[in-house]
Structure 1
């Protein structure tokens, strides 16, 4: 049997109601949610179990307005799903977390309790809020060296490649003043750039003061060596001791995340041939597909559902070969995308926009072909991210290609692209852009 790695994503995997059925059948999962809720109450944060149990709970964009709650929800979701996976006899051979997912992996491996992991997150968000450290993260569809050169060309003190997700996906952190300059430069070069739903420049030395505050406030928390193997993309090595755990807590705000290096090391040096992603959306699986040989087995959340029990059923299946098409993925759900000037994929030459029903059918075929999903999962009501697990970075990539195919203009800033979250709504957006482009052309002729 090949070795199996369990991957824990960061924020982007949250969906409302994903644990509604799971906690009814797994007592350990329910207890873990209770531990996280207990920590939340002590810090004046509403319980996260409500968002994870209620299908009508807040969408990720809304929950992101209170970052502590979003981070806690992601932690609780990962821990509950892993507890249920262990109950089903699939603990995995090694755990690997991405960004905040590293804390989830540590708690899942017994390095610290779920309660203490939640308190680390709460203390972290307090330190960030008190530090006046506004900024964010932007995902670029380019490799690490090119991202570094772009940051250097833009200049400034804060811009830094911080998350190395895949050979052609690098996330740059920076201040609120300098990150828009990077995005403007990326657009000018025809590069895809997507702002993520975070309020601070995570994994950046700018946060050194906040990191020291977190280290001081958590110094009494009990840490211990893992009872399941853990590989840290931040430390770039296995977690072996309690001191390693402490190092991750102390450094996870400031140090970069070498995710692509970590999963390649697990495959090449440790014989890991199967990577399972534990979340309600496929965030890390596309990155792994882009980074690993095609014969490596990759299993992530299934298309068409974000429900926890269905995710676990998918992970329990064993299939030969890779299972996900190459795509971009983010560490967190994107906010307003920074439009790219050229398509990320080669598309057909520009042509006239068809009628709405025909356009929706074409979009269904385009998305199905690009993602490897059957067309029937793309119903008119299916939410592209919440229901089908399509990361916003990938959705933006496909949209850019469609705009180029039909020679449509970039959506103006006042249109929130993320609100067009079903295929019919996406068709409406394209028709709106076509109408506005026609009006602008007519006005130009009249002038």
Structure 2
């Protein structure tokens, strides 16, 4: 039985500048970044640490290799913090390239070895000679997406990722994906082209998979010392041979993440902790599993980084010490060891604000009754919207509710996307909600909504629309 699951997301699960508050020089997290940078340099890639430590935001230029090493380094830095705090992880589960991160935490490979696997994985795809290809997410169940692929009748299409009841990813060559998107549009099925530069988890990468297997054959792989569930293998990964099988198929095997979540839930998992930036896997838990399953996103964006230590402290206090402190960089494991941590009773973690300390009063002093003072009425804006403080509070609460964390985290000048990690779709949904709330007209095409990046700026836009109606 498993109670607590650590989840490791794949590409794009990093946020520029988000680790600056979590990695001090000389810490194990800083050593992880140094190790990843050293491997990146061997392959002629730019270092990843300047991007993750900042100062940087969503507009900062990123090297192509950051897509493959940014999520990896972020997950391992967060894992070091969890391990150091003694937060238990009864089972580890990775998503796509995140399975490599899970293998490091489980003791199958060192940070250095796994970073080389990711670099070789990317090289193998880049050198495959495959025509232009990509990946497309569709908001439909897997059985319906499979029928759409059959209707397109192109052998390069493959259902690559089954994320949830209404989120499936298809990969293939661009002409086939274009036809798939057109068919989906005709059926009013929403699609989204992912920023992944090839058709990963597709048999058309078979040649690249064989090349990768040859290139990483010399890298030692141990049996996991923690329980690992592989969505690509569709079962528990218990031996070194299992780990080798996963690496050999990592480019072609589909990711059955929805099935993995269900299997872990049926086995008793109730708390799922996302060891990465943003909250992609957290949302999948909420979409795929019943209400008793609780999901915690450690790092949704730069603004939440300051709360990560408190969140981890709460997890440790609620669930006891399950992991012995150590470093992912130095611990080497036996090839046959397989240890499962003893599960602790699970309660969803709650972040509590510190209690307000009362002011000291002299002993025996009498406290006069407060005088009744009628506040002066606030001036009512002529545009029909609330006064500025109330308007900003309503905007703040709308974004906080969309991200599912306390409104006090969203300050007037907080970057909604760069610091909070809110997606473009979430921003659009909140904006439409605010327009409906205040009965405002849609802005004309000259207004670029994405340029309004803070609560204060969005409140200003709402006032402009109110004045123009």
TM band (smaller chain): 0.7 to 0.9
* Cα distance in 2, alignment partners of residues 7 and 292 from structure 1: 15
Partner of 1:59: 58
| Structure 1 counterpart SS, 2:61 | helix
Q: 1:281 aligns with which of 270, 275, 278?
A: 278
* Cα distance in 2, alignment partners of residues 263 and 136 from structure 1: 26
Residue 290 (1) aligns with residue 283 (2):
no
Q: 1:214 to 1:229 in 2, by over 3 A?
A: same
Partner of 1:204: 202
* Cα distance in 2, alignment partners of residues 198 and 98 from structure 1: 14
* Cα distance in 1, alignment partners of residues 21 and 282 from structure 2: 24
Partner of 1:238: 236
Q: 1:296 to 1:60 in 2, by over 3 A?
A: farther
Report the alpha carbon displacement of residue 301 of structure 1 after superposing the two structures with TM: 3.0
Q: How does 1:268-347 map to 2 (within 5 A)?
A: 268-269=266-267, 271-301=268-298, 305-306=302-303, 308=305, 310-318=307-315
TM-score (norm 1): 0.78
Report the alpha carbon displacement of residue 4 of structure 1 after superposing the two structures with TM: 0.8
Structure 1 window deviating more from structure 2 (84-93 vs 212-221): it is 84-93
* Cα deviation 1:340-376 (Å, max 9, x = unaligned): xxxxxxxxxxxxx998989988765554444444555
| Structure 2 counterpart SS, 1:30 | helix
Partner of 1:35: 35
Q: Any conservation in 2 of the 1:303–1:377 contact (CA below 8 Å)?
A: no
Report the alpha carbon displacement of residue 240 of structure 1 after superposing the two structures with TM: 0.5
Q: Any conservation in 2 of the 1:295–1:322 contact (CA below 8 Å)?
A: no
* Cα distance in 1, alignment partners of residues 399 and 126 from structure 2: 39
Q: How does 1:172-211 map to 2 (within 5 A)?
A: 172-211=170-209
Partner of 1:117: 114
Q: 1:28 to 1:170 in 2, by over 3 A?
A: same
* Cα distance in 1, alignment partners of residues 77 and 448 from structure 2: 33
Report the alpha carbon displacement of residue 154 of structure 1 after superposing the two structures with TM: 2.9
Q: Any conservation in 1 of the 2:13–2:278 contact (CA below 8 Å)?
A: yes
Q: Any conservation in 2 of the 1:37–1:48 contact (CA below 8 Å)?
A: yes
TM-score (norm 2): 0.74
Equivalences, count:
402
Q: Any conservation in 1 of the 2:9–2:275 contact (CA below 8 Å)?
A: yes
* Cα distance in 2, alignment partners of residues 422 and 137 from structure 1: 31
Residue 18 (1) aligns with residue 18 (2):
yes
Q: Any conservation in 2 of the 1:18–1:53 contact (CA below 8 Å)?
A: yes
Q: Any conservation in 2 of the 1:96–1:233 contact (CA below 8 Å)?
A: yes
Partner of 2:360: none
Structure 1 window deviating more from structure 2 (213-222 vs 29-38): it is 29-38
Q: Which runs of 5+ in 2 are unaligned?
A: 319-345, 351-382
Q: Any conservation in 1 of the 2:6–2:275 contact (CA below 8 Å)?
A: yes
* Cα distance in 2, alignment partners of residues 406 and 185 from structure 1: 34
Q: 1:354 to 1:173 in 2, by over 3 A?
A: farther
Higher helix share: 1
* Cα deviation 1:385-412 (Å, max 9, x = unaligned): 3322324454466668889998869989
RMSD: 3.6
* Cα distance in 2, alignment partners of residues 252 and 410 from structure 1: 46
Q: Any conservation in 2 of the 1:384–1:422 contact (CA below 8 Å)?
A: yes
| Structure 1 counterpart SS, 2:113 | helix
Partner of 1:171: 169
Q: 1:422 to 1:139 in 2, by over 3 A?
A: farther
Structure 1 window deviating more from structure 2 (369-378 vs 24-33): it is 369-378
Structure 1 window deviating more from structure 2 (310-319 vs 129-138): it is 310-319
* Cα distance in 2, alignment partners of residues 429 and 177 from structure 1: 40
Q: 2:422 aligns with which of 382, 390, 406?
A: 390
Q: Any conservation in 1 of the 2:58–2:417 contact (CA below 8 Å)?
A: no
